[in-house]
Structure 1
Amino acid sequence: MITAENLTKRFGAHTAVDGISFEVRPGQVTGFLGPNGAGKSTTMRMVVGLDRPDTGSVTVNGLPFARHGAPITEIGALLDAKGVHPGRTAESHLRLLAATHGIGRARVDEVMELTGITSVARRRVGGFSLGMHQRLGIAATMLGDPHTLILDEPVNGLDPEGVHWVRGFVRSLAAEGRAIFLSSHLMSEMAQTADHIIVLGRGRILADAPVGDLLGGGDRERTRVRASDARELAILLAAEGVSIAHADGDTLEVEGVAASRIVRVAVGADIDVHELVPLRGSLEDAYLALTGDAVEYRSDPAAIAA
């Protein structure tokens, strides 16, 4: 578990992280999102003691990272997949890390097998693709079988099979009761992987909520309906104060009403319902709405068109 309280970090006159508090809880994947320059990397670095906060505190499983006697058994962190000496082999890199905590060779073999890098164990890391660097980095995070993991852009450079593997891997770790803190710019992947989302913008938390809440559940139900007489159904629903978000041929998108009510109205008017599909907004839409005023580097569409 990661607990941050009033965490602040300044670099000169620039405030990179501005008084944020959050928790990364066991048993779930917490996604960490934000535009470039939002403060995500600085926050992750403070969690593992690479940057010291100016105010506030952050603990891992109840203690600051540096106070753990065997830190890699508490938290595994992948912050820079290419932060490995290029002259070392994958195996020698992992064995060196393992030796710092008295971890035996058998565990090194296990994590290489787990991440699919056994066949390249004796190749020098300098010749690795970005995807293989990512797998090596994930192997390193698992050496101490930690309770908590921080993974910064772990699917960057992976092929579709690798992306699928990472998704299943982190979901399985969360199912074991571990706390997973995961950053990514791939919104579709985050929507499938994360249980909870924290969105950072200009160093401040813009959202801290379950994925379902960000995607617009509860009071903002939206349903796609295909019916034998969509025009008449739209008129009947509108007469009851229901909002029709979109109409196209035999299909309606109805907002703010339960699907069961739509069916009752259709059946009462002898209208056949051919399709009834609950819709949710995308995580990308929610993210862009949240961060629209917090983007540090913004392109000019007019300049691109020109």
Structure 2
Amino acid sequence: MIVAEQLTKRFGDKTAVDGVSFTVQPGKVTGFLGPNGAGKSTTMRMIVGLDRPTSGRTTVAGQDYRALRAPLTEVGVLLDAKAVHTGRTARNHLRAMAATHGIPRSRVDEVIGITGLESVAGKRAGKFSLGMGQRLGIASALLGDPHTLILDEPVNGLDPEGVRWVREFVRHAADEGRTVLLSSHLMSEMAQTADHIVVLGRGRVLADAPLDGLVRAWTTITTRVRSPRATDLAGLVAGPDVRITSTTPGVLDIEGLTAELVGDTAAAHGIPIHELTTTTGSLEQAYLALTESSVEYKTKEIA
């Protein structure tokens, strides 16, 4: 479990993180989202002792990270995949890390296999592509077989197969009861991977909720109905809090009413229904609505 309690970090007169509190539960993938400059990376750095909080505290498995006797076996961290000795081969980089904790060489070979680095294990890390560098960073995080994983943008630069592998791996890690904190700007991937979402904006927590609950709270549910008497049905369900649109004859998109209510109304008036479906918004839509006023670096809309 990872716990942040009233975590604050100031750099001069700039407050990067402002009273942030959240808990990352074991057995779940917790997505960590926010616009650029929201304070995500600074928060992650404070969790693993790379930045000292101005105030507040963080713990991993009930302890300050800096108090862990063998941190690689407790917490696997990927914050910067480029943080490697560029002159070392991938295998020697991992072996050097393993030697600091008495991790056997067999585990080095194991994580090389897990992350698909066999063909480049003997090559210098400085020659790696972005995707191969990410795989090496993930291998480093897995080296000590830790119970907690903190991964900042782990799919950056990966091909589709690699992205799918990361998704399946973190889901499997959570299913094993591990604690997973995952940061990404790829909303479609986060929607398929995360159980719980924490959103930061301008250094503060904007949301801390299960994925499904967050999407429901910040998007609109739309009921689509197809009927030969769509016009009659529209008149029956119309109301001050109901928005009805139709771009195809015989098809209505209704916001503000559940499929059950629409279906019951149609049945009560003998109106045949050929289709009745409900769609919710996406995580991306919820995220954009939630962070609209917290984006520090905005681009201009294309005319």
Same fold (TM over 0.5): yes
Q: Mapping of 1:1-306 within 5 angstroms?
A: 1-216=1-216, 221-238=221-238, 243-249=242-248, 250-301=250-301, 305=303
Cα shift at 1:245:
4.1
Q: Is the 8 A contact 2:107 2:143 kept in 1?
A: yes
CA change 1:219–1:112 in 2 (3 A) is closer
Supply the distance in 2 between the matched residues of 1:267 and 1:60 (Cα, whole angstroms).
55
CA distance in 2, matches of 1:128, 1:251: 53
- The answer to whether the 8 A contact 1:244-1:252 is kept is no
Give the match's secondary structure for 2:238. helix
CA distance in structure 1 between the partners assigned to 2:130 and 2:229 by the alignment: 54
Q: Which AA in structure 2 matches 1:256?
A: G
Question: What residue identity is the alignment partner of 1:248?
Answer: T
d(CA) in 1 for partners of 2:178 and 2:190?
18
The question of whether the paired residues in 2 share the 8 Å contact of 1:30 and 1:198 is answered with yes
Distance in 2 between the 1:237 and 1:230 partners?
11
Amino acid at match of 1:69: R
CA distance, structure 2, for counterparts of residue 242 and residue 286 of structure 1: 20
Per the normalisation by structure 1, the TM-score is: 0.94
TM superposition shift of 1:246: 2.5
Secondary structure at the counterpart of residue 86 of structure 2: coil
> Secondary structure of 1:215's match?
helix
What percentage of aligned pairs have identical amino acids? 63
Q: Which amino acid is the alignment partner of residue 20 of structure 1?
A: V
SS for the counterpart of 2:140 is: helix
1:74-95 CA-to-partner distances (Å, cap 9, x unmatched) read 1100000111111111111111
Cα drift, residue 100 of structure 1: 0.8
User: Where does the alignment leave 5 or more consecutive residues of structure 2 unmatched?
Assistant: none
Deviation of the 1:221 alpha carbon: 4.2
TM-superposed CA distance for 1:111, in Å, is 0.8
Q: 1: CA distance between counterparts of 2:146 and 2:227? A: 53
Once residues 38 and 278 of structure 2 are traced to their aligned partners in structure 1, the CA distance between those partners, rounded to angstroms, is 33
Q: Distance in 2 between matches of 1:272 and 1:151?
A: 51
SS at match of 2:216: coil
Q: Give the letter for the 2:203 counterpart.
A: G
Using the alignment, how far apart are the partners of 1:152 and 1:218 within structure 2?
Answer: 25
Structure 1 residues 231 and 248: CA distance shift in structure 2, 3 A:
farther
Q: Name the SS of the counterpart of 2:85 in structure 1.
A: coil
- Deviations along 1:91-140, one digit per CA (max 9) or x if unpaired, are 11111111111000111111111111112111111111111111111111
Is the 8 Å Cα contact of residues 243 and 256 (structure 2) preserved in structure 1?
no
Q: Residue 272 of structure 1: CA displacement? A: 2.6
Aligned partner letter, 1:68: L
* 8 A contact 2:220–2:281 mirrored in 1: no
C-alpha spacing 1:245/1:75, structure 2 compared with 1 (3 Å): farther
Q: In 2, distance between residues paired with 1:251 and 1:101?
A: 64
Distance 2:40 2:148 in 1: 17
Q: What is the CA distance between 1:168 and its match in structure 2? A: 0.8
Give TM-score scaled by structure 2 length.
0.95
Q: Supply the AA of the counterpart residue of 2:9.
A: K
Could you tell me whether the CA contact under 8 Å between 2:221 and 2:281 is conserved in 1? no
